[in-house]
Amino acid sequence: MYIQKVSLTNFRNYEHCDVTLAPFLNVFKGNNAQGKTNFLESIYLASIGKSPKTTKDKDLIKWKEKNAKISVNVKKQYFDEKIELYLRNEGKKSIKINEVIIRKIGDLIGEIPVVYFAPDEIGLIKQGPADRRRFMDIDISQLNKSYFYLLCRYEKLLEERNKLLKQTKNFESLHNTIDLWDTQLCDVASKIIFYRLEFIEKIKIPAKDVHLKITNGEENLSIKYQGINLKTVEEIKQKLFEGYKKNLKKDFDFGFTTIGPHRDDIEIEINDVDIRNFGSQGQQRLATLSLKVAELDLFEKTLNEKPILLLDDVLSELDAKRCKNFLEIIKNFQTILTTTKFSRKIRQNDAVFVVKNAKIQRM
Ligand SMILES: Nc1ncnc2c1ncn2[C@@H]1O[C@H](COP(=O)(O)OP(=O)(O)OP(=O)(O)O)[C@@H](O)[C@H]1O
Ligand SMILES: [Mg+2]
């Protein structure tokens, strides 16, 4: 699969732009503050339905304008697809797939599978576990729509359980009511954990291989799910149920649920050192990149379509050799990358665009 065309109207600093993309490498180069990241953000929005940078649609609309539109034409293996997003200053955004309005974001996710990497993504390793859970949640949702709906359901059930914990005055009376919530919660939570374990299991070897390739065999990357680590949904459910019971007094005292998938994490080590705490900036950044690149094959195998790789400003921290290794690994996927400098030779069918003051021109 690849994106053929992107059209923007009043999106961020763009008044209007139409760009026809190449099927493999697309380099967007330009000085700072010209609109490179904004362009990538528009594609991310058409894929995930929300921005990686803001939760306010208003921020995405060109200043002083009322509406914005993003339109993306995709070439899939067996058919073409058009995704359109209409953003409004007042009121909700609307989304169309092939001219038909969709009602839920869940219907959009997975239509244009993307693997996204931006400077902030380093948070995936450096910041707290929330970023690592977000990484799993967004990417597993793209691979499996039912996972996205499980997450929505879990969030609601958890909110209800926490409300009950806060509102109940007497610990003894909690026993009578909480079991009903815990049964439902465990049912959903065990599936979420199961899918996450499966995801980590599937990317851990590719991530290690990619990382060895980029670093010329210098760094051994290993990842592991930090949470319940059991083989079947039933076993996970049982363990969780016991956990909720064991922690009930603590949960009651704190007023929220202290265990479950909303508290889990990913362990990330390089040469046996936990780089979440002890990695250098460069190591953390590269490990994040390896995790993302490792997903490409998994996406392709699971969805039967090649995903699209969106890379914001990734080349700047790679030395010449690592950069070459990296471009070699991703050469068979449509990649849209931004950079301030680019002087490498590209293949005949690849494209370099110059971004200047919200205008994009192919070189
Ligand atoms: N809603 C908006 N309306 C108009 N302009 C906006 C809006 N949101 C952001 N901008 C402007 O868009 C410009 C380009 O931003 P962008 O992040 O795309 O730059 P960039 O080319 O990626 O630069 P860098 O190389 O520094 O990352 C910024 O100057 C920003 O102020
Ligand atoms: Mg930028």
Count the neighbouring beta carbons within 10 Å of the beta carbon of residue 256.
16
Q: What is the pLDDT of residue 119?
A: 78
Third-level CATH fold of 122-304: Glutathione S-transferase Yfyf (Class Pi); Chain A, domain 2 (1.20.1050)
Q: Over the stretch 137-151, which tens digit does the pLDDT of each residue have?
A: 999 999 999 999 999
Amino acid at 198: E
Rounded CA Rg of the chain: 22
| Low-confidence residues in the chain, pLDDT < 70 | none
Nearest Cα residue to 196 out of 126, 252, 267:
267
CA of 14 to the centre of ligand 1 (A): 9
- The rounded distance, in Å, linking the Cα atoms of 51 and 53 is 5
Domain ranges of the chain: 1-113+311-363, 122-304
Task: Say what the pTM is.
Answer: 0.91
Which listed ligand is nearest to 61 at the C-alpha? 1
Cα 32 to ligand 2 centroid, rounded to whole Å: 7
Output phi, psi for 325, to 5 deg: -55, -45
Tokens in use for 341? 């400098």
Q: Cα of 339 to ligand 1 centre, how many Å?
A: 14
Mutate to test the pocket of ligand 1, among 12, 14, 314 (most ligand atoms within 8 A of CB): 12
Rounded to the nearest whole angstrom, what is the distance from the C-alpha of residue 332 to the centroid of ligand 2? 24
What whole-number distance in Å separates Cα of residue 51 and Cα of residue 300? 23
Count each helix (H run) and each strand (E run) in the chain, helices first: 12, 15
CA 99 – ligand 1 centroid, Å: 30
Superfamily of domain 1-113+311-363: P-loop containing nucleotide triphosphate hydrolases (3.40.50.300)
**Ligand 1 atom having least distance to the Cα of 313:** 27
Query: Is the fold of 1-113+311-363 the same as that of 122-304?
Result: no
Nearest atom in ligand 1 to the alpha carbon of residue 59 is: 1
Q: How much is the pLDDT for 212?
A: 94
For residues 54 and 360, the answer to whether their CB atoms sit within 8 Å is: no
Q: Which helix (H) or strand (E) holds 295?
A: helix 281-303
pLDDT of residue 47: 96
Q: Which residues contact 123 (CB under 8 A, 6 or more apart)?
A: 131
- The residue whose CA has the least distance to atom 4 of ligand 1 is 13
- Identify the pLDDT of residue 3: 98
The CA distance from 25 to 178, in Å, is 54
Using CB distances shorter than 6 Å, the residues near ligand 1 are: 12-13, 30, 32-38, 59, 61-63, 313, 340
Residue 35 has a pLDDT of 97
Sign (positive/negative) of CA torsion 117, 118, 119, 122?
negative
Distance of CA 175 to the CA centre of its chain: 38
Nearest bound ligand to the CA of residue 355: 1
